[in-house]
Amino acid sequence: MLRIIFQRQKCIGCGSCVEVAPDRWQMNKLDGKSILIDAKGKKGFYTIELTNDEYEQNKEVESSCPMHIIRVEKC
């Protein structure tokens, strides 16, 4: 399993995450920030646990985010 943790408040809407993993990330046109699809939010942090199928792609998302607000870890 893997866990993605996303600190949404600091997102600048650059779109890199959506470009790398469009099945898991989406832009919200209303506030210009990205959405971690199906994640649960708590105090500004959005978290989801997934199977390892999505690990490599989301590791790439993690390193492509200029704000360093995405963490992808095995759990």
Residues that bind ligand SF4 in the complex, under the rule CB under 6 A: 11-17, 34, 64-67, 69-70
| Pair type for strands 34-36 and 2-7 | unpaired
Nearer to ligand SF4, 39 or 70 (CB): 70
Nearer to ligand SF4, 1 or 12 (CB): 12
Nearer to ligand SF4, 10 or 49 (CB): 10
User: In angstroms, what is the minimal distance from the CB of 36 to ligand SF4?
Assistant: 8
User: In angstroms, what is the minimal distance from the CB of 32 to ligand SF4?
Assistant: 9
